Chain A
Amino acid sequence: MSIFCDECKKNIATVFLTKVSGEEVSKVQLCEACSKKMEETSEAVNLFAFLPQILTGFSGQPEDAADDILTGALVKCDSCGTSFNDFQKMGFLGCPDCYRALGEPLERVIMDFQGSTGHKGKMPSRVSEDAKLRRRLIDLEQNLERQIIEEDYEAAASVRDKIREIREKLYPGVDEYE
């Protein structure tokens, strides 16, 4: 494997990146100058720096996670300027928008740490009615699954009706059971 930058072929590569393009994932290695140039182009949006130490102290399994974790040196939150690397260094995000802006790399870290990316707890009183219904739907669908496993078909039928009712409110005219 070459130690030189894939871009200029002259300098020694110091930045290791994983390029994500649709389903395809490929690895790229760059020197510092080329990686900076890359950072300034729009192409950079889909480039994530590959840092083996990413989950140290966060997942407890850095060696397993290292190889397939994509991290965004170049992915930044527009609202506060925090990058995925900043998050790795500090352990903190900058603002609520970081959760969406840091996208997949952050989601993977959260999934790895929390084992879930689906909130099931309390909701603010001022959250939209739709959000409350979507949450209720998740709860009911889980109940339905359990009742079917337990062969409690009477309860399951009643839950299914409630699910239909909520689905009709949320997505009028669409019924997945039809």
Chain B
Amino acid sequence: MSKGNPVGACTDWLSNKGPGYPVVISSRARTARNIDGLKFPTVAAPDELEKARGIALEVVSRCVAEDRDWNISFAEELSPEDLGYMVEEHLVSGAFAGDIEGRAIASDWKEPRSVLVNEEDHIRIQAVLPGAQFKNVWKVVDELDSIMDREILYSFDPGMGYLTSCPSNAGTGLRISAMLHLPALVITGEIAKTISALGSAGIYVRGLHGEGSGVAGNIFQISNRRTLGESEESIVSYMEYTVQQIVDNERTARKMMLRDSEIELSDRVYRALGIVERARRLYYQEALELVSQLKLGLDLDILAIKEFYMPQVEVSISPHHMTELTGVDVDSEAIDRERAIYLRRLLDL
């Protein structure tokens, strides 16, 4: 990253490979908790939001961040550009950045973990690790959650578990998700079957930036739908198993493409290379699609260009990152020209 994000949050996963690479980009875990006796942030008045933020951040400062390198930022103190930059690094959701009143983010500089305050729920603890590391990422979140739990009385019901603003998060409040690069399943058309099967198996399939976002660059986010009636360990194991199935399917599709349609595949990959080498303007979505094809070509030894890491490129060519890098306005046409130049330089073309 050019300068690091505005809150200094650790985003090691953007530049490190993990298990399951190159299909599995990252694993994420997050818990949703609410402070007992307060209205959920979705309906709370400003003074109630302030109270929840005070309680949450006092505990983070005293029990988690003390003597450590953490940054605590009120969302109101962050500019729209800062927030856009953080959304692109998957640190906060578009929803968090869209309505900032009473919100805050506390993030660790050394470990990829953070605490979001007053998004949909009072406290959301999240962590991201590179590759398929579901048990490890849950452990990071679980430890932080247990520390905060000793200090804050959470809304909890023995039957419904942790009570959350949207009942789709009730129970464990745990969402485990994986970011996957699945170009072969998309090219072969197998993705439709995969998405349908995952839907029946209680798995959400979403785009690059999670809920409500479109698919770009053949990157998908999958996550558990059910949060109630299963233990955290079962949810983690189920996601581990599901992701392994998808990885196997993607690898099979890649082998089959190489075996049955190598010329079509090479043609596709070299056309992508041709555009990236020659284009004078690249829109973000288009650039992502091309980068995805190039990555597939590299993974299958069709292309002999410089190796690159998919999430790093994906994030660095996104609009607010391009603005940060070039000083060009995020909404201007010039940003697409800058992107074409930057991408060629990034890939040594």
Contact = CB atoms under 8 A, between A and B. Distances in A.
A144 interface: no
A121 interface: yes
Please report whether the interface of chain A is mostly helix, strand, loop or mixed according to DSSP: loop
B203 to A, nearest CB: 13
B228 A116 contact: yes
B338 interface: no
A159 B225 CA distance: 32
Interface stretch (A66-74, A123-131, A166-174): A123-131
Contacts of A99: 157, 160, 163, 167, 170
A116 B229 contact: yes
Interface string B225-246: 1111111101000000000000
A125 B142 CA distance: 13
Interface in A119-178: 119-127, 131, 134-135
Contact of A114 (B36, B145, B227): B227
B158 A82 contact: no
Which 9 A-B pairs give the minimum distances between C-beta atoms?
Answer: A116-B229, A119-B161, A121-B172, A96-B155, A92-B42, A114-B228, A94-B43, A96-B163, A131-B158
B32 to A, nearest CB: 12
B42 A119 contact: no
Contacts, number: 114
Given A92-B120, A93-B166, A114 B171 contact: yes
Interface of B: 34, 36, 38-40, 42-43, 120, 142, 145-146, 149-150, 153-163, 165-168, 170-172, 174, 199, 202, 225-232, 234
Interface stretch (A36-44, A45-53, A105-113): A105-113
B170 A92 contact: no
A117 B163 contact: no
A96 B229 contact: no
Nearest to B169: A114
A60 B205 CA distance: 14
Contact of A92 (B43, B142, B202, B234): B43
A22 interface: no
B228 A117 contact: yes
B228 A110 contact: yes
A110 B153 CA distance: 24
Instruction: Give the size category of A's interface with B.
Output: 20 to 34
B39 A119 contact: no
A119 B171 CA distance: 5
A125 to B, nearest CB: 5
21 contacts: A60-B199, A93-B165, A96-B163, A99-B160, A106-B167, A110-B167, A113-B168, A114-B170, A114-B227, A116-B171, A116-B230, A119-B158, A119-B159, A119-B160, A119-B229, A120-B230, A120-B231, A125-B150, A126-B149, A131-B158, A135-B158
A121 B226 CA distance: 12
Nearest to B150: A125
Contacts of A80: 39, 43
Contacts of B38: 95
Contacts of B142: 122
Contacts of A79: 39
A91 B150 contact: no
A92 B226 contact: no
B333 to A, nearest CB: 36
Which of A92, A113, A125, A135 lies at the interface centre, i.e. has the most chain B CB atoms within 10 A of its CB? A92
A147 B329 CA distance: 65
A122 B39 contact: no
A84 to B, nearest CB: 12
Given A116-B228, A117-B229, A135-B158, A126 B165 contact: no
A127 B159 CA distance: 12
A95 B231 contact: no
Contacts of A109: 167
